[in-house]
Amino acid sequence: MSYALREALAAFRRTPLLTMLSVVAIAFSLFIVGLFGLTAFNISQAVREVENKVEVVGYLRDDATAMQLQVAQEELRRLPEVQELRYVTKTEALATAMEEMKEFRDVFTDLESNPLPASLEVRLRPGQSSPEAVSRVAKRLQAYAFVEEVDFGDGWVEKIYTIRRLFGAAATAIGGAFALVAGIIIATAIRIAVFARREEISIMRLVGATDGFVQRPFVLEGIITGLLGGITAAALTWVAFAALNRYLFALKWLPSEWIVAVVVAGTVFGFLSSIVAVRRHLEAV
């Protein structure tokens, strides 16, 4: 085992509490990021699922002619956003309504004429169902004179996107604040470690150890701390996932690359904090 690694590990034995504090601080800041990741990932998954069901429905006036419908259907099918186009007649609409709303069956049965309009149901292609695409198709549909009204889900797509952005901003702010605290704790830990080993450091310099050699154990300590923090954060995120999944609602677990990213982020963070701190504090020895 190299000198630097041995010394870095010895630091954990010398000041276990401080090291643990550093690990916990990194873990918490990355846990926040992990929770955000979990939320964002599941929202995207939900959005994608719902996106596949995105429909733009145009309700038709009763006086629409078969010829007009024929032309409109051909035109609409040619739009790049359109996956599927279905013409629902008044009769079909009534049948569906009776099927889906059994409690109103009597009302529908007693009617003298069918009050429900025929409609054109447009299903959008996956990946073509952004708010912009939806409103483009809706406008196109609206443009036909025989289309009475267009329904496309009251802008819920925009709402989901907004929620996701809000989550992102909140996680960045909270995660950033935690990261700052983690950085300060790591720097303090290193400062104490440098102080505890100042004699050793001064002798190392005396006998001609290079600055890099003197710094290496501290930086390695930071890297290990960050690595442990990252792993802890990933574990905490998993615990949160498991708990939510069990008691609140079904969630999907994050892709493994995201987990790797959390651990790598912790490691890089530990490395950067320690190198900045050690450069500053070693000057004072």
Partner 1 sequence: MIRLSSVSKEYARSGAALRDVSFHVRKGELVFLTGHSGAGKSTVMRLIQMADMPSGGEVRVSGFSSKLIRQRDIPMLRRKMGVVFQDFRLLRDRTAEENVAFALEVTGTKRSAIAPRAHRVLTQVGLAHKARAYPDELSGGERQRVAIARALVNEPLLLLADEPTGNLDEWAAKGVFELFREINAMGMTVLMATHDLDLVRAHPQYRVIELSQGAVVYDSAPTPATREPQQA
- The site for partner 1 (CB under 8 A) is made up of 3, 199-200, 202-211, 213-214
Q: Give every CB contact of residue 137 below 8 A, 6+ residues apart in sequence.
A: 56, 79, 81, 82, 122, 124, 152
The distance of closest approach from Cβ of residue 204 to partner 1 in the complex, given in angstroms and rounded to an integer, is: 5
The distance of closest approach from Cβ of residue 206 to partner 1 in the complex, given in angstroms and rounded to an integer, is: 6
Identify whether the C-beta of residue 278 lies closer than 8 Å to the C-beta of residue 186.
no
Return d(Cα 200, Cα 186) in angstroms, integer: 21
Question: Which one, 80 or 208, has the nearer CB to partner 1?
Answer: 208
The distance of closest approach from Cβ of residue 167 to partner 1 in the complex, given in angstroms and rounded to an integer, is: 48
Question: Which one, 2 or 162, has the nearer CB to partner 1?
Answer: 2
Question: Which one, 214 or 228, has the nearer CB to partner 1?
Answer: 214
Angle (deg, nearest 10), helices 16-52 and 211-247: 50
The distance of closest approach from Cβ of residue 13 to partner 1 in the complex, given in angstroms and rounded to an integer, is: 12
For 24, 34, 129, 168, 178, the CA distances from 174, given in Å and listed in that order, are 15, 12, 32, 10, 6
Identify whether the C-beta of residue 220 lies closer than 8 Å to the C-beta of residue 193.
no
Q: Comparing C-alpha atoms, which of 18, 6, 4, 5 is closest to residue 191?
A: 18
The distance of closest approach from Cβ of residue 207 to partner 1 in the complex, given in angstroms and rounded to an integer, is: 4
Question: Which one, 189 or 214, has the nearer CB to partner 1?
Answer: 214
Max CA-CA distance within the chain?
105
Question: Which one, 27 or 201, has the nearer CB to partner 1?
Answer: 201
